[in-house]
């Protein structure tokens, strides 16, 4: 296990190098001189030259890459040109609503998806199963931004139950108030994953239910409750772990869309405005941060597997 952990940690290095390389290349894909593009049409020659020097664009490309890596591994993901601050600091200020939104979406998706998938599997091929699977199909097929707009129309504008847009930080209005603001956004984002979770858990339940040891458990006279809860569910939940791991990165992507729809001043909305302001330093830092979190979370999920399922052997 320790060996495996170390080897997996080492294997992160090439992935992170390539992740950094991809982001580095994308910045160089901007047609024309990035410094001129970033500063806009009113910039003077000297300003452009100064920025080129600051960004290191006047140096040979290989040296730029080495520089970029050494900064990256020191945790310096560059500066935001618009805010004139380290990009990470700007992102950190906007992280609270985004993290809360992601956590709430995940909780909502699990709260809907897990029971739906479990019930569907237990009532396989019945009316209930079909109904739940149609619901799950709707979940994975509904564009979250459109669902969000529909929720605003129904629950904010018509019924007035929830605020339509915006966010009040926890420090100003308390956690409950912040969650109240984020409920509709979290639901619109979580609904999609609820559908996915339901489908995954249903199939893995069915898989486990047809295995020999479940037949044995039933044959030796265990109650149906203990067959389902102890023998089936514990094993069937393992694939859900992978699903959650993959969800986390995609939630960060989804948050960009949802925060725009609901006008939540989070990290996702920051990226969109950074793109419009051509603040590539900020965009670069954000995407790199998300990718790193994804890589680390997935490593964590893989390691957790071993804890949850001792049968798994790592060679």
Partner 1 sequence: MSRGQRIWKMLTGRKYRQIVVGVGMFSVILICAIFAPLIAHQDPSFYDVPNRMLPPSSAHLFGTDVFGRDVFARTIYGARTSLAISVSVTVLCGVVGIFLGLIAGYFRRLEAVIMRVMDALMAFPNILLALIIVAALGAGAINVIIALALASIPSVTRMVRGIVLTVKEQDHVAAAKASGAKTGRILFFHIFLLCISPITVILTLILATTTLAEASLTFLGVGLPPELPSWGNIISDGRTYISTAWWLTVIPGFAILWTVISVNVLGDGVRDMLDPRLRNL
Residues that bind partner 1 (CB under 8 A): 14-15, 18-19, 21-23, 26-27, 29-31, 137-138, 140-146, 149-150, 152-153, 157, 202-203, 206-207, 249-250, 252-254, 256-257, 260-261, 271-272, 275-276, 280, 283-284, 286-287, 290-292, 294-295
| 3-state SS string for 110-139 | HHHHHHHHHHHHHCCCCHHHHHHHHHHHHH
CB-nearer residue toward partner 1: 194 or 290 = 290
Other C-beta atoms closer than 10 Å to the C-beta of 43 total 16
Q: Are 177 and 165 in contact (CB under 8 A)?
A: no
Q: Smallest distance from the beta carbon of 6 to partner 1, in angstroms? A: 18
Q: Are 225 and 143 in contact (CB under 8 A)?
A: no
The continuous run of DSSP H or E covering 86 comes out as strand 85-86
Q: Smallest distance from the beta carbon of 102 to partner 1, in angstroms? A: 12
The continuous run of DSSP H or E covering 85 comes out as strand 85-86
Q: Are 221 and 138 in contact (CB under 8 A)?
A: no
CB-nearer residue toward partner 1: 170 or 296 = 296
What is the C-alpha to C-alpha distance for residues 96 and 286, in angstroms, rounded to an integer?
A: 15
Q: Smallest distance from the beta carbon of 67 to partner 1, in angstroms? A: 20
CB-nearer residue toward partner 1: 27 or 90 = 27
CB-nearer residue toward partner 1: 184 or 261 = 261
Q: Smallest distance from the beta carbon of 31 to partner 1, in angstroms? A: 7
Q: Smallest distance from the beta carbon of 32 to partner 1, in angstroms? A: 10
Q: Smallest distance from the beta carbon of 123 to partner 1, in angstroms? A: 14
CB-nearer residue toward partner 1: 44 or 158 = 158
CB-nearer residue toward partner 1: 100 or 151 = 151
State the number of CA atoms in the 13 A half-sphere of 65 facing the CB: 13
Q: Smallest distance from the beta carbon of 176 to partner 1, in angstroms? A: 27
Q: Are 196 and 111 in contact (CB under 8 A)?
A: no
- Residue 189, judged by CB atoms within 10 A of its CB (0-12, 13-18, 19+), counts as buried
| 3-state SS string for 31-84 | CCCHHHHHHCCCCCHHHHHHHHHHHCCCCCHHHHHHHHHHHHHCCCCCEECCCC
CB-nearer residue toward partner 1: 102 or 178 = 102
């Amino acid at each position: 296990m320790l060996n495996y952990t170390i080897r997996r940690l080492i294997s992160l290095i090439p992935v992170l190098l390539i992740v950094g390389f991809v982001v580095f290349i994308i910045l160089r894909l901007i047609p024309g001189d990035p410094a001129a593009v970033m500063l806009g049409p009113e910039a003077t020659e000297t300003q452009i030259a100064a920025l080129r020097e600051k960004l290191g664009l006047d140096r040979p490309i290989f040296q730029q890459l080495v520089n970029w890596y050494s900064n990256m591994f020191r945790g310096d993901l560059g500066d935001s040109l618009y805010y004139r601050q380290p990009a990470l600091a700007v992102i950190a200020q906007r992280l609270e609503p985004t993290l809360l939104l992601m956590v709430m979406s995940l909780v909502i998706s699990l709260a809907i998806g897990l029971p739906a998938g479990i019930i569907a599997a237990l009532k396989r091929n019945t009316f209930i199963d079909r109904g739940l699977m149609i619901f799950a199909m709707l979940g994975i097929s509904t564009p979250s931004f459109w669902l969000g707009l529909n929720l605003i129309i129904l629950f904010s504008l018509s019924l007035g139950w929830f605020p339509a847009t915006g966010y009040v930080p926890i420090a100003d209005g308390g956690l409950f108030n912040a969650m109240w603001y984020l409920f509709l956004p979290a639901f619109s984002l979580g609904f999609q994953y609820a559908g996915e979770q339901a489908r995954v858990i249903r199939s893995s339940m069915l898989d486990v239910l047809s295995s020999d040891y479940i037949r044995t458990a039933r044959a030796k006279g265990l109650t149906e409750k203990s067959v389902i809860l102890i023998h089936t569910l514990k094993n069937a939940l393992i694939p859900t772990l992978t699903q959650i791991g993959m969800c986390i990165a995609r939630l960060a992507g989804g948050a960009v869309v949802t925060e725009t729809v609901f006008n939540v001043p989070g990290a996702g909305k920051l990226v969109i405005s950074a793109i419009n302001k051509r603040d590539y330093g900020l965009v670069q830092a954000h995407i790199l941060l998300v990718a790193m979190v994804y890589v680390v979370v997935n490593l964590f999920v893989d390691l957790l597997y071993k804890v949850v399922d001792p049968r798994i052997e790592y060679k």
